[in-house]
Amino acid sequence: LSNLYEPGSTFKVLTVASGIDAGVIKADTVCTQCGGPRQYGKYTIKTWNDQYHPDSTITEGVVRSDNTVMIFVAEALGADQFQTYLKKFGIGQKLHLDLEEDEDTPFPTKWGPVELATTSFGQGITLNSLQLVRAISAIANGGKMMRPQIIKEVRDPISQEIITIEPQVESVPVSPQTARTMTEIMVKAAARGEELWGSGGGHAVAGKTGTAQVATQGGYDASATIATFIAFALADDPQFIMFVKLINPTYSQWGAETAAPLWHKIAGKLYYLLEVPPTGASLETNQDPSE
């Protein structure tokens, strides 16, 4: 709860979901300002691979993890509306877990053109891992953001009375239609990654990778990264959401090459334990991944 970090590209899910819900973009909207780096005075903002696609749609921007597409969305929203959506997603707000370290986290106070641009792709804003999971769970839950809970029920050892802790909806950041559209985009983003590091075993996954820089006083540590992958499955009938975060991975700095394969390895166990068959298959085909 106290380990704050800049989320990087996983945050793009919230940016695009906000834009779609506000009606300023659609999944197939073409970015008209994505033909090259964006310049803000002395600051130049590039894509992660310095490649640009002037006819990119919003969906393609998420799949490619294109920073310029995210800036286009954030500028269409405007700073005030973007902040409103982020707060509805619980960014900067405590998790209400009744744990000592659960508290509000810093929310940006400066929202000039540069800050709006960098926040759109998850830089210059900090949160903890569970805040990100809580926010993206709204996409998995049809627009409803659930309050995290660590206790399912309380049992009295003497009377054997059982008190069930019921799930609570904390807010509804986006509409069910927006959640469906965002899920479809995330499925395509996850499928792009599966082409590189293997499939999800036939299970439909909605996810987004991230490779975040590590902030230091006055800048970023060029030698340090945080590789991440957040996803839920099944995409059309979510059974779980899981976030994998690797600090300074040694094999590769990219979330698509480190965190995502690990996510799928863990998910393989969960599919078996939860008796979730591959999409379009019977349960009998879902063998124990340890065998």
CA 291 to chain centre: 31
Please report which confidence band the pLDDT of residue 104 belongs to, taking 50, 70 and 90 as the band edges: confident
Please report which confidence band the pLDDT of residue 195 belongs to, taking 50, 70 and 90 as the band edges: low
Degrees, nearest 5: CA angle 80-186-261:
125
Q: What class, spelled out in words, does domain 8-274 have in CATH?
A: alpha beta
Q: How many beta carbons lie within 10 A of that of residue 136, not counting itself?
A: 27
Please report which confidence band the pLDDT of residue 197 belongs to, taking 50, 70 and 90 as the band edges: low
Q: What is the mean pLDDT of residues 50-69?
A: 97
- Are 231 and 266 in contact by the 8 Å Cβ rule? The answer is no
* pTM attached to this predicted model: 0.90
> Which residues lie below 8 Å from residue 22, measured CB to CB, with a gap of 6+?
77, 81, 85
Give domain limits for the chain: 8-274
